[in-house]
């Protein structure tokens, strides 16, 4: 199993540009999450999904959109990039089963908005 | 989910035990204590979790006080590769739980030769 994969690894955007961060997991996990991590800080939850077709907002959803059309994929969309969105983005997944809901994280996407 | 308090940083000599404390004085009866770590620039990695009994796995041991208001993560023989930020998180399990994790600042553990 590859686990949780994220693309791209690095990206530089100009203010106002759009992009989609890709996240795929091959563990057949129901739950998926997007976090962002600013320098020297802990992770903050952006959006999450408990299954295909179901998404919900986390702590910091403004400026982002998500979709979950399949169990495997959970893309994160930035519509109008702003310098405040410069961060490292982590995708994670978990089975969602009670007592075994450890989260597995991807390697991250480092985004700079100039 | 209950809030946790951890020291900002700690040092440990290589080969010695690293004991990382966490206070969670407002923990509820159905909240578990989770530990994750984040090695520089990588995604967080699950270490261990427990409810009220002490737990041990191949990576670490988790000691939870009887009143559950604090816990200690123990890395029995720290190596340089254990240098990382360690996060203590408390959360509920079970149906209806979305599995969300609330990360604090964590403890930066520096293992020194």
The tens digit of pLDDT for each residue in B60-109 reads 999 999 999 999 999 999 999 999 999 999 887 655 566 778 888 899 99
Q: What is the pLDDT of chain B when averaged over all its residues?
A: 91
Q: Interface of chain B against chain A, CB under 8 Å?
A: 36, 41-46, 49, 87, 93-95, 97-106
Put simply, whether A60 touches B (Cβ < 8 Å) is no
Closest CA to B37 of B89, B72, B76: B89
What is the token pair recorded at A114?
């100039």
Residue recorded with tokens 């029995």: B76
CB B62 within 8 A of CB B49: yes
| A31 has a pLDDT exceeding 80 | yes
CA distance, residue A113 to nearest chain B CA (Å): 19
| A102 has a pLDDT exceeding 90 | no
The per-residue pLDDT for A100 is: 58
Residue recorded with tokens 């035990």: B17
Q: DSSP class of residue B78?
A: -
On chain B, the residues whose CB falls within 8 A of the CB of A33 are: 99-101
Q: What is the pLDDT of chain A when averaged over all its residues?
A: 93
| A87 has a pLDDT exceeding 90 | yes
Closest CA to B12 of B73, B63, B80: B80
User: If pLDDT is split at 50, 70 and 90, which confidence band does A98 have?
Assistant: low
Put simply, whether A47 touches B (Cβ < 8 Å) is no
| B5 has a pLDDT exceeding 90 | yes
Q: How far apart are CA B89 and CA B39, in angstroms?
A: 17
The percentage of chain A sitting over the pLDDT mark of 70, rounded to a whole number, equals: 96
The per-residue pLDDT for B96 is: 56
| A99 has a pLDDT exceeding 90 | no
Closest CA to A91 of A33, A36, A50: A33
User: If pLDDT is split at 50, 70 and 90, which confidence band does B2 have?
Assistant: low
Closest CA to B100 of A24, A9, A32, A2: A32
Q: How far apart are CA A77 and CA A79, in angstroms?
A: 6
On chain A, the residues whose CB falls within 8 A of the CB of B99 are: 31, 33, 48, 50, 94, 96, 101, 103
CB A94 within 8 A of CB A31: yes
Q: Report DSSP letters for B32-68, one per residue.
A: EEEEEEE-TTSPPEEEEEESSS-EE-SS-EEEE-TTS
Interface touch B100/A33, C-beta < 8 Å: yes
Kindly state the average pLDDT of the residues A43-69: 94
Residue recorded with tokens 């939850």: A45
User: If pLDDT is split at 50, 70 and 90, which confidence band does A40 have?
Assistant: confident
Interface touch B101/A90, C-beta < 8 Å: no
User: If pLDDT is split at 50, 70 and 90, which confidence band does A10 have?
Assistant: very high
User: If pLDDT is split at 50, 70 and 90, which confidence band does B29 have?
Assistant: confident
| B56 has a pLDDT exceeding 90 | yes
Give whole-number Cα distances, A32 to A22, A74, B26, B88, in Å: 12, 7, 28, 21
Put simply, whether A48 touches B (Cβ < 8 Å) is yes
Better pLDDT: B1 or B51: B51
CA B43 from chain center: how many Å?
16
């Amino acid at each position: 199993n590859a686990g949780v994969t994220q693309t791209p690894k690095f990206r530089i955007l100009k203010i106002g540009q759009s992009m989609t961060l890709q996240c795929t997991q091959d563990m057949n996990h129901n739950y998926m999450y997007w976090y962002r991590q600013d320098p020297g800080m802990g992770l903050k939850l952006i959006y999450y999904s408990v299954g295909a077709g179901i998404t919900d907002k986390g702590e910091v959803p403004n400026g982002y959109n998500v979709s979950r059309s399949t169990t495997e994929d959970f893309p994160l969309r930035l519509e109008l990039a702003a310098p405040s969105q410069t961060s490292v983005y982590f995708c994670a997944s978990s089975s969602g089963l009670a007592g075994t809901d450890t989260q597995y994280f991807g390697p991250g996407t480092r985004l700079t908005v100039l | 989910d209950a809030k946790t308090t951890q020291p900002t940083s700690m040092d440990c000599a290589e080969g010695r035990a690293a004991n990382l404390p966490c206070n969670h004085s407002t923990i509820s009866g159905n909240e578990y204590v989770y530990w994750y770590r984040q090695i520089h620039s990588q995604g967080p990695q699950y270490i261990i979790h427990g409810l009220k009994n002490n737990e041990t796995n191949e990576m670490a041991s988790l000691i939870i006080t009887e009143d559950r208001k604090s816990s200690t993560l123990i890395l029995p023989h720290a190596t340089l590769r254990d240098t990382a930020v360690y996060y203590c998180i408390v959360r509920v399990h079970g149906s209806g739980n979305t599995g969300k994790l609330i990360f604090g600042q964590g403890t930066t553990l520096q293992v020194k030769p």
